[in-house]
Structure 1
Amino acid sequence: MDTRQQLINTGHYLISNHLAWGTSGNISARIDKNRMAITASGTNMANLSMEDFVEFEIETGETKGKRKASKETPMHLGIYREREDVSAILHSSPFYTTLFACSNEPIFSELFIETMYYLENIAYVEYFHPGSQELADAVTKQAPNANIIMMRNHGVVVFDDSVSEAQMRLETLEMACRMILKAKESGVQLRKIPEKTVKSFLEDAFYKPRKRLVGKSSN
């Protein structure tokens, strides 16, 4: 399937499942090793079309097309430059995830199968204005350390080796944040999976191959 069509499908899915809203957020994917496509500025993910993307050379930042790209393009470029294994990036502000981004509540992964796998590595960056070079630099610096970066008082950026896996990572994060909050509201004590069991699951359970963080320095 064409890269842009995958992103169109994902944009529609994010809106339909309350993982994005309006023109908030931006998504991108590698076309090949050296190029990426990212949503244009002001696009609504519920109504994406093939003309709503801007193509960039990842290393040089050179662009093709007449549309103005998302203001968060430097952040996306930084992640792709640092993480050669990353093929898709989703930046969004889902309700429960953003609630946690606006608080000091911890997000823990030792809850159930998907959280153990998809929420293993979460990093945080402080608030910087959207589209600023400061935000791009902060996210780029954390990219080698995690597959989820929580942006304080802003939202989240997740990335993975495919669009579908990035989507699953975002959806798992939102569900975990909702579960943690609902448990606190209801006075339910969540029972964490023991650390030894988590390690065994990630290394030996054969759910999926454990995803290692692969940066430029890994080669």
Structure 2
Amino acid sequence: MDILTAKQQVIDAGLRLVETGLIARTWGNVSCRIDKNSFVITPSGKAYEDLTPKDIVLVSIEDCKYEGNVKPSSEKGIHAACYAHRPDCNFVIHTHQKNASAVSTLGFEIQDLKGRSKELIGDYIPLADYGMPSTGKLKKGVVKAIVSSDSRAIIMSHHGAVCLGADNEDAFNIAAELETVCLRFIMRKYKKASDLAFDGFKSIAEYVNERTKVRNYADEFSHFNSVRKDKSFVMTPHDGGEKLTVDLFNRGGISEDTNTSIDLHRAVYNARKDVNAIVHSDNETIKEFSKTSRTLRPLLDDFAQLVGVSCKTAVYDANQNKTRKVVRALRCKNAALLRNNGAICVAGDEYDAKAVEMVLEKNINTKLTHTFFGQPGGNISLLDSAIMRLVYKLKYSKQK
């Protein structure tokens, strides 16, 4: 294929995947085969919406060498392996899609695909052994799954998925069908256990909560997002009301209910000089999970990277203004669950704070799925989590 055509197809596929929610931010990667010796791939750490043909990197299939100053995706070795072991593969998409991630910790393959799923993907979906991102162990696990099956979709343990297509349209269809297969897999288990209609991962959270004793129940309070502005911060209410500009140090002149949120945001900004944006998530699944949750640990590697080695639950008593519990829960982390009030997600800017919220939701979905299927363990080790967190903070968080 002509290299410029291939580069544009990679860009177009990335944008389409973002629009459909299969990938977000800079997560995942996309590539297209040029010939038997080379392929082009998305760069490391750049948003899909900002890509131009100059950003797409030409890489050797044999040794992953490349030329120029733009670094290719750190997962280029996985793409090279796909092209080397599957001559009929001309387009590869690596995603961190929600439903495939949710089943990635269960420890078993998805068997007996039928109909359109079988036609697009194959007889079953193998599960690749776990390895930390960008490591030889991760690539080894994917290669093993590729050579031991004819499947065109592979779930990567604690990570995401890789989809191998004959062209960009085929690869996209495989990624979309994989998400459908994984959702149906979860829905069947839920209906069999509960005999209730499945209405997203919130349904599983409600089912689990009904069988869990609620501890330290907390009253709900208003949800605001906010952004730091010099010696003040601007709060945006979730109910569509007017924005509020609030002094970082002086309290007063605002309604009691609003002050409940202001005090919390002010305490976080004053304790964390690195935080310039706060998202108080009212996502339905996160909020339901927060009713009974304790400490949430990483089941997915992007959670370890963006959130931290754990996400603690704090009970925020608005009447007593005990913000210190929330501040303590956020220490060295980018999110904390608030009992019965969703979660507070923090970062250096609003874009990153929303990314934290997305990753938190995905990890909760995975936790709920893992719990519902009754599988033991599931968490990534503390050591691996700490290593990924450190590498991310030192390297990838500096890239946009």
Same fold by TM (over 0.5)?
A: yes
Matching residue of 1:156: 161
1:165 counterpart = 2:167: no
Q: Assess if the C-alpha contact under 8 Å between 1:89 and 1:157 holds in 2.
A: yes
TM-score (norm 2): 0.44
1:184 counterpart = 2:189: yes
In 1: Cα distance, 2:111 partner to 2:120 partner = 11
Instruction: Write the letter of the residue equivalent to 1:90.
Output: I
Q: Assess if the C-alpha contact under 8 Å between 2:108 and 2:127 holds in 1.
A: no
Q: CA deviation at 1:62?
A: 2.3
Matching residue of 1:115: 117
Instruction: Write the letter of the residue equivalent to 1:179.
Output: R
Q: Assess if the C-alpha contact under 8 Å between 1:12 and 1:47 holds in 2.
A: no
- Classify 1:24/1:83 alpha carbon distance in 2 versus 1 (closer, same or farther; 3 Å): same
- Classify 1:46/1:134 alpha carbon distance in 2 versus 1 (closer, same or farther; 3 Å): same
Pairs within 5 Å for 1:58-73? 58-73=61-76
Q: CA deviation at 1:58?
A: 1.4
Matching residue of 1:89: 92
Q: CA deviation at 1:105?
A: 6.5
In 2: Cα distance, 1:119 partner to 1:84 partner = 16
Q: Assess if the C-alpha contact under 8 Å between 1:88 and 1:166 holds in 2.
A: yes
Aligned residue pairs, count: 188
In 2: Cα distance, 1:178 partner to 1:32 partner = 35
* Secondary structure of the corresponding residue to residue 49 of structure 2: helix
Q: CA deviation at 1:84?
A: 1.6
* Secondary structure of the corresponding residue to residue 41 of structure 2: strand
Matching residue of 1:52: 55
In 2: Cα distance, 1:138 partner to 1:109 partner = 22
In 2: Cα distance, 1:21 partner to 1:28 partner = 16
In 1: Cα distance, 2:113 partner to 2:92 partner = 24
- Classify 1:114/1:185 alpha carbon distance in 2 versus 1 (closer, same or farther; 3 Å): same
Structure with more relative contact order (C-alpha pairs < 8 Å, separation 6 or more): 1
Q: Assess if the C-alpha contact under 8 Å between 1:147 and 1:160 holds in 2.
A: yes
Structure with the greater alpha carbon radius of gyration: 2
Q: CA deviation at 1:85?
A: 1.5
- Classify 1:59/1:105 alpha carbon distance in 2 versus 1 (closer, same or farther; 3 Å): closer
In 2: Cα distance, 1:70 partner to 1:20 partner = 15
Q: Assess if the C-alpha contact under 8 Å between 2:128 and 2:144 holds in 1.
A: no
Per-residue CA distance 1:141-200 (angstroms, 9 max, x = gap): 3223232221111011111221111111110010121222234334469xxxxxxxxxxx
1:143 counterpart = 2:146: yes
In 1: Cα distance, 2:49 partner to 2:21 partner = 11
Instruction: Write the letter of the residue equivalent to 1:56.
Output: V
Q: Assess if the C-alpha contact under 8 Å between 1:108 and 1:119 holds in 2.
A: no
* Secondary structure of the corresponding residue to residue 181 of structure 2: helix
Matching residue of 2:295: none
Instruction: Write the letter of the residue equivalent to 2:118.
Output: M
In 2: Cα distance, 1:140 partner to 1:5 partner = 27
Q: CA deviation at 1:109?
A: 4.6
Per-residue CA distance 1:10-48 (angstroms, 9 max, x = gap): 111111111111111011111122110011100222332
Instruction: Write the letter of the residue equivalent to 1:116.
Output: K
* Secondary structure of the corresponding residue to residue 54 of structure 2: coil
Instruction: Write the letter of the residue equivalent to 1:180.
Output: F
* 5+ long unaligned stretches in structure 1: 190-219
